[in-house]
Chain A
Amino acid sequence: MKLLHELYLYRQMIFSLVKKDLRGRYKGSVLGFLWTFINPLMQLIVYTFVFTVILPADVDRYYLHLFVALIPWIFFSSSITGGASSVVAQKDLIKKIYFPREVIPISYVTSCFVNMLLCFIIIFLVMLFTGSVWNFTAILCLPVVWIVEYLLALGMAMLSSAITVYFRDLEHILGIISMVWMYMTPVLYSIDLIPERLQSLYRLNPMTSVITAYRDILYYGQVPNLLTLSEAVFLGVGFLILGVFVFSKLKKRFAEEL
């Protein structure tokens, strides 16, 4: 409770760090902010080429099937891999000034989140031009899924950023984990392809529920399964509580370890 109050007092700091990050990220490059869109688009093109020409997947409009999952996935994976080094990267601030340390992972994840929301503009444009199913009741559920994924990503980023301070290898290990995690999540393929006996195992992966929900809303145009959604909410909140707890234990010695 005290933490929430303090974070509220420091809301302007979160706001200006996000702004600085978004504005500063591509400063000096010719294409500037366009890079936000170019990177996921290139990934989309490569995967679509591989999975429609070389290893054809039996999915109608594969690019959309992939796109609605890939954008949220990129947000999630950059939150944990980039988020891991976020605290270390701000060591000058941490060693010199007091502010609630949670501000750092929060602003990092928030700036990734804003990036994702911008990419959703492209998703909507693609849907518009390809004549997809628009189910507005389903789209009303979208903010819920966004929030759940945000909480999940924040929880993971808090865990990884706090542990990285003490154990710098985690940054590199997370690169591998995030790749494995992507293949363990139905991003590139449909969840229906997963064998029955592995289904329950897949359920343990919180991102499975999140990705499934996105796909239900944007690809199939249907309101996501209530069970899937509540599972995702449950896991999202759970990870956040774990993240906050670990972070608050570890943050006291940040200034000494950095």
Chain B
Amino acid sequence: MPHEEEYAIVVKDVQKQFKVFLDKGQSVKERLLFQNRRRYEKREVLKGISFQVRKGEAIGLIGHNGCGKSTTLKLLTRILYPDSGSITIKGRVSSLIELGAGFHPDMSGRENIYTNASIFGLTKKEIDSRLDTIIKFSELEEFIDNPVRTYSSGMYMRLAFSVAIHVDADVLLIDEILGVGDVSFQQKCFRRLQEIKSSGTTIVIVSHAMEQIEQICDRSIWIDNGEIREEGIPKYVHEHYLSVMESNRIERDAKERQTEPVETRTLPDFCDATAVRLGTGDAEFTDAKMLSEDGTITNVFPTGSYITLKLAYRSKKSNLEGNFGFGIFREDGVHCYGTNVDIECDKIIPLKKEGTVTITFENKLLAGNYFLDVAIHSKDGVFYDDIRRIQAFTVTAVKRDIGICRLETKWEVDDITFDSHR
């Protein structure tokens, strides 16, 4: 457990309710005349959430619309205040929730930089020193003295984002704003965000763009109906989240069509308990084994040995064509390797009613814990069966080399030459 002082954000048992007026009268007359109309429902948006963020850590908040993640962010920025519980934040907080706040269309881009940055709490001196960088970042040098109303919406957002991202803060809160401008500008923003993170700023991001969170964040918090459902390494939290969303969607679809809900697919024995299974189910795996060189079933392999993957499948429809693939992830979410039939031999395989797939490869991974993913999908990427983390396995070390995987090396040191050994 890290020491209390290392936390930049501590959220303790925060609850928040909103009064949702069904028919709100704002004036005295309406209040007096329609007293019984002033009915409202109390909606519990947050039902007591607690989490901590360490200094310099980046976390992502995910969840479906209305789950309370944006409310959480608004509580962190102090736009809203909690009904109970406490929030402690250390250092200067800056929030990128609203871009272009206070922009005046008749004023020039330059003047608006001053207005907008001042709303983020920057002083004139601080803005002066940043002005050139902001203008350069926005790529609007030629237009900076034109009134903002002459800008296209893309230019407008670029200017707004450039100001926002140059507010130095100890804690940066971001809500769904990484989709600004064209692709190259987005990448630029993203790089800037990574720079900010590596300079030690604590970051909290709310987003539906899971890949972006996975690239920047150390941890994801999944909020579901006002409670924290899961937190951990982004990739895994997101997989669980997506699979729940997927099964909810299937259930809803089934209800709409007024048919029996599709039976929820239980995980078969050959899958680990933490596996996530997605896909249409038109074709599916019926078995999966990992074998060592001597053919015994195991989940422990030394670096440099051969691993054999034995998969069995069945197809529920005839005339399906399938592409088999597998992937390997390290336990911290690093994607180590992945390939499929199409990549390896430019072919799609006609599926049999029941069949087997055997893959053998040299294990060049270094010591650590890994997960195996397997999938059957169609030529154009429709997943029939997609099992993430079907099995965990461990690679044991024989040498002390470090990194992700082993590269074969040839050495010449002075007049001594040697090859790397297994």
Contacts and interface: CB of A to CB of B under 8 A. Distances in A.
B118 interface: yes
Contacts of B106: 24, 27
A9 B125 CA distance: 12
Contacts of B74: 255
B102 A10 contact: no
A150 to B, nearest CB: 22
B104 interface: yes
Which residue among A10, A94, A96 has the maximum number of chain B CB atoms within 10 Å of its CB? A96
B119 interface: yes
Contacts of A15: 118, 124
A254 to B, nearest CB: 9
Given A12-B118, A12-B124, A168-B26, A94 B79 contact: yes
A223 B63 CA distance: 68
Interface in B111-137: 114-115, 117-124, 127
Contact of A97 (B101, B104, B122, B127): B101
A10 to B, nearest CB: 5
Size category of the binding interface on chain B: 20 to 34
A253 B81 contact: yes
Interface string B155-192: 00000000000000000000000000000000000000
Interface stretch (B92-100, B308-316, B363-371): B92-100
A124 interface: no
A14 to B, nearest CB: 8
Contact of A16 (B95, B97, B115): B115
A115 B120 CA distance: 27
Nearest to B25: A168
A92 B79 CA distance: 12
Which bracket fits the contact residues of A? 20 to 34
Contact of B18 (A24, A252, A256): A256
- Grouping DSSP codes into helix (H, G, I), strand (E, B) and loop, the B interface class, with mixed when no group exceeds half, is loop
A241 interface: no
A194 B63 CA distance: 68
B1 interface: no
Contacts, number: 70
A46 B118 CA distance: 42
A96 B80 contact: no
A2 to B, nearest CB: 13
B194 interface: no
A20 B79 contact: no
Contact of B79 (A11, A12, A167, A255): A255
B111 to A, nearest CB: 9
A203 interface: no
A61 interface: no
Interface in A199-258: 252-253, 255-256
B420 interface: no
Contact of B118 (A16, A168, A252): A16
Contact of A99 (B18, B28, B104, B119): B119
A9 B123 contact: yes
Given A24-B104, A168-B26, A255-B74, A98 B79 contact: yes
Contact of A12 (B28, B80, B127): B127
23 contacts: A12-B117, A12-B118, A12-B121, A12-B124, A13-B118, A13-B119, A20-B115, A24-B104, A27-B106, A93-B119, A94-B79, A97-B77, A97-B79, A97-B101, A97-B119, A97-B120, A167-B28, A168-B26, A168-B27, A169-B27, A252-B81, A255-B80, A256-B80
Given A15-B118, A98-B79, A256-B80, 12 more contacts: A10-B121, A12-B118, A12-B122, A24-B106, A92-B98, A96-B101, A97-B77, A98-B78, A99-B119, A169-B27, A255-B80, A256-B18
